[in-house]
Structure 1
Amino acid sequence: MFKLFKTKSQVNICAPVSGKIINLENVKDEVFSTKMMGDGFAIEPMEANNIVSSPVKGKVVSIAETKHAVGIQTNDGKVEILLHIGLDTVNQKGEGFKALVKNGDRIESGQPLIEYDRVLMKKKGYDMVTMVIFTKPLNESIDLVKYEGQNINAGDHILNV
């Protein structure tokens, strides 16, 4: 039969960590707050967090040598996401971070990707805000203003793109 209407496929984006949602504009780093790397949102993790999970089903396309950032592409290739863990954590040169996946791995939404030493990061004074950045331009803008300040759990649905 003929398809008269094309259905627009959507990708469900889930929280990679438990914590409080913050608009990207409120992140204390100009690279993220001015959206130089792309649109998205951030989560201020709860004190007990030390695992960052995948917000989508897809494939790991890059893991920073320092293990503080992971690039993910959805299975359909339409959405590319950068998960960036903490501000200035690149300066740790990988110390305190452990990759639980490798480049090329197929992943499920909610699957643990990176584990970090919460105590070490706190002792060194790092802000562990976790950014979810859409690095491939989206057809729509991300509007999470209504969620600003709300607490969420890792794996909770946040939005569709």
Structure 2
Amino acid sequence: MLKKLFGKKQEKVSEETVFSPLNGQLIEIEKVPDPVFSQKMMGDGVAIEPTDGKVVSPVDGEIIQLFHTKHAIGIKSSSGMELLIHIGLETVNMNGEGFEAHVKEGDKVSVGDPLITCDLDLINEKATSTVTPIVITNGDIVESLSKENSGSVQNGQSKIFQVKIK
């Protein structure tokens, strides 16, 4: 009897696939030329060297943060996982120049929905790098993470990691 009562309160493990938010080359997070990301201070994940500036949603979820400089965006997926997409390195110093947001905080999004468009040439000129980390910022809810580590990726189509939520 008690087992049945308490058994119902346990959360079910859910799995979620995270798709690439950009077209480009997938690289390991440890190879990002910024210690905040390469040492996983913000969380675990992967990064992409983009070939164009069209950033789309990698998951079904809700926009929980859009930085006023539009260089980074936070999404809470339907499983509760929180993802940060940080477009380029040292792009905060661009103060939004070259970035156009297509969503706002509170918007619901699906995989492939446009989030941000950015000018890669301008980022190359004014920032350190176009490398874009995609990290899980609430890793404490993750039971396991299976990452793709390299290869060419298509936005909204290529799987970059599979997550099991506790």
1:11, distance to aligned residue in structure 2 (A): 1.3
In structure 2, the partner of 1:106 is 108
Deviation digits for residues 21-66 of structure 1 (CA, Å, limit 9, x no counterpart): 11111000010000001111101112xx111111100000000010
Deviation digits for residues 81-124 of structure 1 (CA, Å, limit 9, x no counterpart): 01100000000011111111000000001111011112222333
- Stretches (4+) displaced over 6 A: none
Please report the TM-score for the alignment, with normalisation by the length of structure 2.
0.84
Distance 1:66 1:139 in 2: 29
2:137 aligns with one of 114, 120, 135: 135
Note closer, same or farther for the CA distance 1:70–1:125 as it changes in structure 2 (3 Å cut).
Answer: closer
In structure 2, the partner of 1:154 is 155
Matched to 1:89, the amino acid is T
Gaps of 5+ in 1: none
Equivalent pairs counted in the alignment come to: 154
Matched to 1:104, the amino acid is G
Are the aligned partners of 2:22 and 2:48 in contact in 1 as well (CA < 8 Å)?
yes
In structure 1, the partner of 2:92 is 90
In structure 2, the partner of 1:65 is 68
Q: Does 1:13 align with 2:18?
A: yes
Gaps of 5+ in 2: none
Distance 1:20 1:34 in 2: 20
Are the aligned partners of 1:16 and 1:154 in contact in 2 as well (CA < 8 Å)?
yes
Are the aligned partners of 2:29 and 2:47 in contact in 1 as well (CA < 8 Å)?
yes
Farther off after superposition, 109-118 or 82-91: 109-118
Please report the TM-score for the alignment, with normalisation by the length of structure 1.
0.87
What's the C-alpha RMSD, in Å, of the aligned pairs? 2.1
Note closer, same or farther for the CA distance 1:26–1:142 as it changes in structure 2 (3 Å cut).
Answer: farther
Q: Percent identity?
A: 42
Distance 1:37 1:31 in 2: 7
1:12, distance to aligned residue in structure 2 (A): 1.4
Deviation digits for residues 128-150 of structure 1 (CA, Å, limit 9, x no counterpart): 11111100114345453xx4331
Distance 1:142 1:23 in 2: 13
Are the aligned partners of 2:25 and 2:153 in contact in 1 as well (CA < 8 Å)?
yes
Greater helix content: 2
Are the aligned partners of 2:72 and 2:87 in contact in 1 as well (CA < 8 Å)?
yes
Note closer, same or farther for the CA distance 1:141–1:32 as it changes in structure 2 (3 Å cut).
Answer: farther
Q: Does 1:29 align with 2:31?
A: no
Are the aligned partners of 1:39 and 1:141 in contact in 2 as well (CA < 8 Å)?
no
1:125, distance to aligned residue in structure 2 (A): 5.1
